[in-house]
Structure 1
Amino acid sequence: MKNDVGIKSVKRKTLSKQVVEQIVQLLMTGQFKLGDRLPSEHVLMEQLHVSRPVLREALSSLETLGIINRKTREGTFISEKIGSEPFSLMLALSAGDLPAIMEARMSIELGLISLAARKINDEQLAQLKETLDEIEFGDGDYSEYDKGFHRIIAYSANNSILEGLVDPLLNMVEQMINQVSQGDKNREVTLEQHKLIYESLKKHDVLEAYTNMYRHLEYGRNKVSRIINHSTNL
């Protein structure tokens, strides 16, 4: 990889955060591509005009976020596929703000269901049917099947950019709902709403699928809001 990738020198007081932002910007503008090998530390230090400790701190942050990975004796590379770590970090920082997380869920999942209604295949529909059967006829907690239902829909949208958002979002929503609702769930309502979504996807009806998903998510959001308001008023 070329070393003259248009990196701007960091002026004034150098902060590792600025280095992180520089490298992310180069990735976003296409000067770095997935899988590219980064220049050596020495070259980066010269181009960025930063010290080795600052550069290494920045690289450690990028590695933690899953943006780069280091290979012994080979060098440092931009990850082949950027994972969910940045989004997970953002969710972690928002932990406790359940209304905001529920709104984020609605925004993301309503977009996903619209794509899924066009793209979902017979194998994925069969997987959805299996989760419905587990919810309806299984014993005990059905949370994993509930989450699995939403995950199948998300992945059937077949959008690599959105895939990294799905699991951390569903995990965070589940954890926070469990904290406020103390396991208070309604299997019958969940099953009925999931069945309506499934039938819409089976018909590849985008508008109907969107509407049924909206009603399902809005039901959950309203339920959580009532619990929160009740707890606040105690």
Structure 2
Amino acid sequence: MPVRNERLSDKVVNQILSLIHDGELKPGQKLPSELVFSEQFAVSRGVIREAMIQLQALGYISRKTKQGTYIEKDIIDRLSRPVSDALKEATYQDLLDFRDSLESKMVEIVIERATDEEIQEIAESLHADSTKLSEHFSLDHYFHYKLAQASRNVFYMNFIDTYYDLIDELAQANKRQEGSLQHIAEEHILIVEAIAKRDKVAAHRAMKRHIMNVRKRRQNVETEPSL
């Protein structure tokens, strides 16, 4: 199976970050051109461009019109700071807002990129034995992570992991079940059915409905009387 550009760009990102860690690239330094990097890493300029976009999104580099691309001066601090730290100030509703826009788009990308076998794996995750999952995963977490995995996008995978790690830190009430397990399972089934049909509109709609119901269940938890 050929290596996809998404994976190549991730490797380039990691290689550039390693060069920064090793001191071969310095904070504030101007980066080589896309052509130089493409020759150095033996990949296309398109792959380098994707890697630059990822690094810029992470706040590790900045692009100055007609001047070039520069490593951020506080890059070392940024690299040593856990990604989750920036999210700990967020509220649960902030995360749901972001998750809504992110995952509604993610299912469309899954339809574009996932093989039939990968979609089958997502469907099988609905019936996973919770006792055999790692302590890191709940069934809900596992399902959404399998979706992110099928998108072949490292940012989606990292967000899903960070989201499920953070909800317990944001408030004590978040540790409760977000509603009926049966309802969640039914919503997951609708998402998978739409993906299996490769129906982007239906998949997008099913995911948005799922997140909307997560939000409603959360609000119900907040209004429940204390025991």
How high is the TM-score relative to the length of structure 2? 0.60
Q: Does 1:90 align with 2:76?
A: no
CA–CA distance in structure 1, aligned partners of residues 92 and 224 of structure 2: 15
Q: Deviations over 1:154-203 (max 9, x none)?
A: 22222344443231123223665873462364221111111111111111
Asked whether the 8 Å contact 1:181–1:227 carries over to 2, the reply is no
* Structure 1: gaps (5+ residues): 8-23, 39-47, 49-57, 66-84
2:80 corresponds, among 64, 69, 76, to 64
2:209 partner letter: R
**What's the Cα RMSD here?**
3.7
TM-aligned CA distance change 1:144 to 1:161, over 3 Å: closer
Asked whether the 8 Å contact 2:125–2:143 carries over to 1, the reply is yes
Q: CA deviation at 1:134?
A: 2.3
TM-aligned CA distance change 1:162 to 1:179, over 3 Å: same
Q: Does 1:114 align with 2:148?
A: no
1:203 partner letter: K
Paired residues, number: 171
Asked whether the 8 Å contact 2:173–2:221 carries over to 1, the reply is no
CA–CA distance in structure 2, aligned partners of residues 203 and 113 of structure 1: 12
Q: Give the alignment of 1:64-213 within 5 angstroms.
A: 64-65=80-81, 85-86=82-83, 88-94=84-90, 97-134=91-128, 144-173=138-167, 176=170, 179-180=173-174, 182-183=176-177, 185-213=179-207
2:78 partner letter: L
Asked whether the 8 Å contact 1:117–1:200 carries over to 2, the reply is no
Among all aligned residue pairs of Structure 1 and Structure 2, give the percentage whose two residues are the same amino acid: 17
CA–CA distance in structure 1, aligned partners of residues 117 and 168 of structure 2: 26
Q: Deviations over 1:111-156 (max 9, x none)?
A: 2112112222223222212221127xx6799962211111111222
Q: CA deviation at 1:25?
A: 6.8
Which stretch shifts more, 207-216 or 148-157? Answer: 148-157
Asked whether the 8 Å contact 2:106–2:148 carries over to 1, the reply is yes
Asked whether the 8 Å contact 1:99–1:225 carries over to 2, the reply is no
2:219 partner letter: S
2:62 partner letter: M
CA–CA distance in structure 2, aligned partners of residues 130 and 121 of structure 1: 14
CA–CA distance in structure 1, aligned partners of residues 167 and 78 of structure 2: 26
CA–CA distance in structure 1, aligned partners of residues 207 and 171 of structure 2: 18
Larger of the two Rg values belongs to structure: 1
Secondary structure at the aligned position of 1:108 is classed as helix
CA–CA distance in structure 2, aligned partners of residues 193 and 180 of structure 1: 20
CA–CA distance in structure 2, aligned partners of residues 109 and 159 of structure 1: 12
How high is the TM-score relative to the length of structure 1? 0.59
